[in-house]
Structure 1
Amino acid sequence: MSDVSLLDTLKWSIGGISSLAMMFGGVVPYIPQYLEIRRTENTEGFGHWFELPLLFQSVIMNVAMMMLISLCVSIRKRGQLIHSKEHVFTDFDYDFFWEWTDMQSYVEFMLTFSTMGCLLMYLFIDSAVFVETAGFISVLTEALLAVPQFYKNFITKSTFGMR
């Protein structure tokens, strides 16, 4: 076997394993909860207590996404021939909301959004309706993350650039 075909096989294998990890990795933290419910035959507390691996997965994913967004913003900014003025925190222009021109604006938005969410949760922590609604919205948001990509692929009739 030549070095080129060995390298191609290795790349294909790593790509396949990575794809499988992305598809099934989010399910792994639920396995202990499934086994516990099956063992005890008690569903009390299902969905109300989250395992620590879910918290760690969330933190790791947030760090990874922040790194990816930082890279994309810096490359997009570098590719601009004429650098526009830096947007400041109060520049909430709806037409350019997701077109971040600098990482600081994105971090400021995320900190504001997170602070507001934490404040609301603190104020309404005793309201089961609010807490369950917040949980539903977050799960729904996560489930619909791929919709913009699917829509873009549908409109362009292409999956070019999709990973």
Structure 2
Amino acid sequence: MTSKQPDISRLGFWTVSSSKQGQGVGNLTDNNTTTYWQSDGQHPHTVSIKFPTRHDIHTISIYTDIDKDESYTPCKIRILAGTTSNDLQLVKDVDLAATEPHGWLSLPLVEPLMAHFVQIEFPLNYENGRDVRIRGLRLLGPPPSDGMFKNERILPFTTPEFHTYESLR
């Protein structure tokens, strides 16, 4: 998957609602689509990402493979966001029942989202499957603009990750 949007996934602290032994949260961001996170428990299954500072999120990309995972593939996805897990609001609701997702599914947000906390919920699977498998998950920030890295900056950082920490509060 190529994108001009920076991958800000590694800037957050990731947790999952449950996982099978050896198929945990680390498999979501390892850039290897042969590994996967597999939940273990009741619906809805969730992936939560907590950022130390608010981040601008433009797109969420999820890698699924219905050919390999069949009933483990989610057919409904909800994206919620807020400042903590206690004030989450629904941002996007995606129904994949009419498609058979295979590969990277790009979920652009209608409005860019500034959030401390993002939760991706998988409430329903194909064929009424119980557990879910996700082979990759990325949170993408805004595409860099032409004027973003001008010399007027106080510090000579050149990546969006460094610009996040450019100013002190």
Normalization by structure 1: what TM-score?
Answer: 0.23
Larger Rg: 1
More strand by percentage: 2
Could you say which structure has the greater relative contact order, defined with CA pairs below 8 angstroms and 6 or more residues apart? Answer: 2
TM, length-normalised to structure 2: 0.23
Q: Higher helix fraction: Structure 1 or Structure 2?
A: 1
